[in-house]
Amino acid sequence: MQQPIARRWWGRALINAFILWHLFALTIWLLPESALRRNCIGLVSPYMTWTGFMQSWSLFSPNPAPTEVYVEARITEADGRVRSWVYPRMVNMGYLERYRRERYRKLIEMAHPDENSMVWPSLARYAARRNNIDPRHPPVSVALVRHFRAIPPPGLLFAPYQTSVFFQMPVRPGDLR
């Protein structure tokens, strides 16, 4: 009879190794700026990003995030029409829906033009799949557009959004599955 994996010595060793790796990755990710963090962040960054465990303290003082950001996908269909689709925005959701969809905010925060380019193709493919409405006119390309503006001090008005296309890719039929 086959024993459960946790009862086998190598199963426990694998589980313990994973737990140690995860604790190491969390520790490095959450360390303040230091030589140790700089040396190890490249090792843990793909794991933390891929699993969605990445986090930042940008919400809190003394330096909260100075910018409001949202991302739009401009999907070009086979007939040349361009469809605009905005990734879910927390500001447009109720509290329960925000709780369920918080991961979208994290993805959008990561969609900075200078960082985390590894997630951009996945964001574009997701938008293409979500907007593959008419099989006669499937998406053929996606452009990701970042809309951003500085958050002003209390009492001042917001400036208009600035816009920049930060990623473009053709859509292959396999991307729509």
Q: Is the predicted pLDDT of residue 56 greater than 90, yes or no?
A: no
Count Cβ atoms below 10 Å from residue 174 Cβ, excluding itself: 7
Quick check: 74 and 167 in contact, CB under 8 A?
A: no
Q: Is the predicted pLDDT of residue 62 greater than 60, yes or no?
A: yes
This prediction has a pTM of: 0.66
User: Across residues 101-128, what is the average pLDDT?
Assistant: 77
Residues of the chain above pLDDT 70, percent: 85
pLDDT (0 to 100) of residue 85: 94
pLDDT (0 to 100) of residue 115: 66
- pLDDT grade for 118, boundaries at 50, 70 and 90: confident
Q: Is the predicted pLDDT of residue 6 greater than 60, yes or no?
A: no
- pLDDT grade for 177, boundaries at 50, 70 and 90: confident
Task: Calculate the CA 134 to chain-centre distance.
Answer: 27
Q: Which residues, including other chains, have CB under 8 Å from residue 13's CB and lie 6 or more apart?
A: none
pLDDT (0 to 100) of residue 86: 92
pLDDT (0 to 100) of residue 108: 72
Report the C-alpha gap between 149 and 157 in whole angstroms.
11
Q: Is the predicted pLDDT of residue 154 greater than 70, yes or no?
A: yes
Quick check: 28 and 41 in contact, CB under 8 A?
A: yes
Intra-chain end-to-end CA distance of the chain, in Å: 40
Q: Is the dihedral of CA 62, 150, 98, 126 positive or negative?
A: negative
